[in-house]
Every structure is written in structure tokens, then in C-alpha cells.
Amino acid sequence: MRIGIDMGGMSIKFGLVNKKNQIVDKIVIPTRLDIPAEKMIDYMTESVLELLEKHGLNIRDCAGIGIGSPGTVDDRRGEILYSNNFGWENVAIVTQMQERLPVPIKIANDADAAALGEVFAGVCKGVKSAVMLTLGTGVGGGVILDGKIFHGPLNGGVELGHMVIKAGGEQCTCGRKGCLEAYASATALLRMAKQAAGENPSSIMNRMCENRLENMDGVIPFEAAAIGDATAKKVIEEYEDNLATGIVNVVNIFRPEVVILGGGVAAQKENLTIPLEEKVKRFCFGGGHGEIARIVTSELGNDAGIIGAAALTIV
């Protein structure tokens, strides 16, 4: 048995994972941003022990613990260098947990852990190389090469969401303008849909969100486009063009076997991947002379982070 921990800004999830990479049981605790990191890590340590006890296990029955953390992680030293969500800086989480949990403990960025999860036990089981883009509040990027997370030689993280695709464009949270995140996140889709609906009162998107743009969600533009709303179609077309630009860049840079889309927007499945594959094939460098990645959507959804984290000590 192994433990996978998925740290989020709202909650921290702990999964007991078996040899088949299945989650046997899960517990969730709220993320406390009002207490010091050390105290929060104590709570995390207790949760690990609690989850094991619940199944009649103790720490010696645990083959390893993996942590997926948002932000910039030093996987070699087991530290969270900086997490905007947690407000943490240079936190030696692995060392601290290891005091009471004397088993192998590894840490990775959460987007990397999710990508590893999909390759280990999800949509890309058995695939050696894949790039995962998580289309949520931001755009997370995880790169798997030779079955392992590609961290990059220096610390800082492989941040595919912060690849500029339109210099001088939309402001990104990272300080730059025109990042993929500012064009292909669920947040970006909402921004585009709200603006288009606001400018086109006859768009059915307005009725679908009860004429309150604050009710707009990431599904409405897809549903409105599906029933022929011209404004929604334009929004989706533009969103997919932006995402395709990012994916073509990723393919031109990494030449992975598969590009996995995760996060809320990926719930659109073929609705999203079919037009994307067509756009990506058209624009990849070398065209028919190279090999072009398949585009698929996540299979494990929110569990990818836990399963991937639990796999960290065995890859």
C-alpha cells in the first residue's frame, strides 16, 4: 500500500493506493492558511497515520508516500520553494514528515503528479511519454518522458501554462502578458464567453445563464455552440484556436506520444479533442513528415493527482 497526497488551496486529499494503482480509500482535510506551515504539515502527518489505521495498517505497511503540491517544488531536496496558494516559502515538507513517517517520501508539482497518474493508471497507461495540460483556473503542465516526470535540470518547474503564445496580449497572473494560461484556462473561456454574451444580447448564452453573466460557466458556451448559437460558436472556435496554438507548440517542442487534457474543460471529451486534433495536425512543424501526438482527455479526473503522487516513490 502507498499513500498519495493531493494538496489544494481549499483541501488536502489523502488516498490509500494499492498495487494496482487503485484508490482503496480517501480522506480529505481542509487547507488551513491561517496556521504556520509546520502545523499544517503536522495535521497532514496525522491524516496519513489515521488513513492507515482505519485499514488496520501502520506506517511499516506503507511502501511510500507521495505529495503533489501546487507551486514551485524542489523534488531533489523535498521542499516546497514557493506556493502562491499556500503562501509558503522554502518549506522542507519531506524532512518534517519523515520524522514521524519513516518511509520513502517524494514530492512533485501537482500538475506533474496528475500527468504521472494518467500515464501510470489512466488514459495513457503504458505510454512512455506524454504531456498533460490541465485546463482549470490556470493551465497546469506536466511532462512525462521515459515514464518519469521531467522536472527540468534547474529548479523552478516546467510551466507550460506560462509559455507566451501572444506577446503583449492578455495579462497573466505570472506578470507576463499573453501566456497560454491567459487564453486556454477555464478562466479564459469564461472571460471570453461573458464578453461575447454581453456584446451579443441575442446570444442564447445569455438565456442559459439567466441573463446574469456571473452565472456563466465553462459548459454553457459548448452547449450553446452545439445548438447553433453563432456567438458561442465563435467563442469556442477562438478558444480552441488558442489551445491548439499551445498544443502545437508543445508538440513542436517535446514530440510526445500523447497530449492529455485535464481539468474542467476536458469534460467536453471528443467535443474538444476532435476539432483540436484537426487543427494541430494542420500546423505541426514538418506536417506529414513527422509523427504527431494523439490528443486525449483525462480518465482519472480529480483522482489523477492522488494516484500520480502515490506513484512518485516507485518511478
List contacts with a copy of itself (CB under 8 A).
Answer: 72, 81-82, 89, 128-129, 145, 151-160, 162-169, 174-176, 178, 241-242, 245, 248-249, 251-257, 283-287, 289-293
The minimum distance between CB 91 and a copy of itself, in angstroms, equals 12
The minimum distance between CB 282 and a copy of itself, in angstroms, equals 8
What does residue 63 show for φ and ψ, rounded to 5 degrees? -80, -20
Q: How far is CA 72 from the centre of its chain?
A: 14
The minimum distance between CB 39 and a copy of itself, in angstroms, equals 22
The minimum distance between CB 171 and a copy of itself, in angstroms, equals 13
Instruction: Compute the Cα dihedral for 59, 61, 63, 69 and give only its sign.
Output: negative
**Helix, strand or coil for residue 258?**
strand
Distant-in-sequence, close-in-space partners of 218: CB < 8 Å, separation ≥ 6: 186, 189, 190, 264, 265
- Are the C-beta atoms of residues 169 and 151 closer than 8 Å to each other? no
- Give whichever of 46 and 89 is closer to a copy of itself, judged by the CB atom: 89
> If we measure between CA atoms, which residue out of 290, 218, 189, 219 comes closest to residue 248?
290
- Give whichever of 26 and 176 is closer to a copy of itself, judged by the CB atom: 176
- Give whichever of 129 and 187 is closer to a copy of itself, judged by the CB atom: 129
The minimum distance between CB 219 and a copy of itself, in angstroms, equals 25
Q: What's the rounded Cα separation, in Å, for the pair 265 and 135?
A: 6
Task: Tell me the Cα Rg of the chain.
Answer: 20
Torsion, CA 185, CA 186, CA 191, CA 196, rounded to 10: 110
- Give whichever of 26 and 191 is closer to a copy of itself, judged by the CB atom: 191
- Give whichever of 18 and 285 is closer to a copy of itself, judged by the CB atom: 285
- Give whichever of 145 and 226 is closer to a copy of itself, judged by the CB atom: 145
Encode burial over 197-218: b for 16+ CB neighbours within 10 A, e otherwise.
beebeebbbbebbeeeeeebeb
The minimum distance between CB 117 and a copy of itself, in angstroms, equals 19
